[in-house]
Chain A
């Protein structure tokens, strides 16, 4: 009988909070597989959430904690992932029209607006960490929230990746609400210009030096991103570039996803705060989109050569979904209006600007 008791002893330790978290883990796996929402991250996160919420689990205080300490507590995994992301990005469309980078800057407005909103409910450090959801960039969100020592890293990560996956649902209504049909039909012919190899090689180096000199806290984030891009563009490290884009990025994503679940335990996650963080994250994405679109409309007031204001929305990072959405919306209004090269240019500039914004947040609230 005593031996039989051992079999169900652990079952009795289950509390409703554990069960809710396990169901949440199942939901993340469902969204990853069925809806294809950021599956490479949500699937390991989902399974990790199940693992850490089983009472007496040897996964939580064991491999997952070790992975967390080895790769997230010290920011290593997000930074290594940046090498892969940098190797994937082609800055060509941006280099042919560098002014597009202004839209990337404008679309970071959601971060700072959300900072003000979050400050009404949360202490400074947590408000700053929540605001960075607006970077629309998972690794930046994890790195900043973790460096600042926020207690909400799990909720922030879930919000950041969920909304990135929901960009096709969040952005179109905001863009439509802020633009007229006439504005959405503005054509922007793409002038094909050749970019020299030297320029492509110099660009990541210059960005690293300029951004790091002004915002030193962004050095690691921008440096690793641009390191990946330099591997891609140098032309002599093709096998390393392939490894960074595929093997490294995939490997780190697996580890990142499962180790983030270290923060997905019931007592840390099941709070009203989490719902509020999800709400604030949504506000960040909406205001980012609005910031980019309104900035483009402002430019149009002073410019003779009109810009399609929709491309401003692509500045929120979330690469490459946001750029593609703007392109599709342009085609829906006018089948001859191809905005892809412009919107992708703005989109990659959003990637750079979001990392710089992360550095600024760290400068303001870190140490």
Chain B
């Protein structure tokens, strides 16, 4: 593949929504894990 003839600057912008969704999903999953961990910490420390 000749990467320079296939150079497509628009590809960056096309991927931006995926960047947003990807980061959002990571924060949602981690947020849920944090909440659950705090809950079990609280529950089992009693």
Chain A residues near B (Cβ < 8 Å): 95, 98-99, 101-102, 104-105, 108-109, 111-113, 115-117, 119-122, 127, 194-196, 198-199, 202-203, 206-207, 210-211, 214-215, 272-273, 276, 349, 352-353, 356-357, 360-361, 364
Contacts and interface: CB of A to CB of B under 8 A. Distances in A.
A210 B33 contact: yes
A127 B11 CA distance: 10
B15 A119 contact: yes
A226 to B, nearest CB: 11
A211 B33 contact: yes
A176 B11 CA distance: 31
Chain B contact patch, size range = 35 or more
Interface string B19-45: 101110111111111101110110011
In this complex, which of A120, A122, A203 has the most chain B Cβ atoms within 10 angstroms of its Cβ? Answer: A120
Contact of B30 (A101, A120, A194): A101
Given A99-B34, A109-B23, A272-B3, A119 B28 contact: no
A272 B4 CA distance: 10
A119 B11 CA distance: 5
Nearest to A275: B3
Nearest to B25: A360
Contact of B15 (A99, A109, A115, A202): A115
Interface of B: 1, 3-4, 6-9, 11-16, 18-19, 21-23, 25-34, 36-38, 40-41, 44-45
A117 B12 contact: yes
B26 A356 contact: yes
Chain A to chain B: the 5 pairs with minimum beta-carbon distance, closest first: A119-B11, A112-B19, A116-B15, A98-B37, A105-B30
Given A116-B19, A353-B26, A102 B34 contact: yes
B11 A273 contact: no
A236 B25 CA distance: 35
Contacts of A360: 22, 25-26
A206 B18 contact: no
B18 A207 contact: no
26 contacts: A95-B37, A95-B41, A98-B34, A105-B26, A105-B30, A112-B22, A116-B13, A119-B14, A120-B8, A121-B11, A194-B45, A196-B45, A198-B44, A203-B37, A203-B40, A206-B33, A206-B40, A207-B33, A210-B33, A211-B33, A214-B25, A273-B1, A349-B30, A352-B30, A352-B33, A356-B30
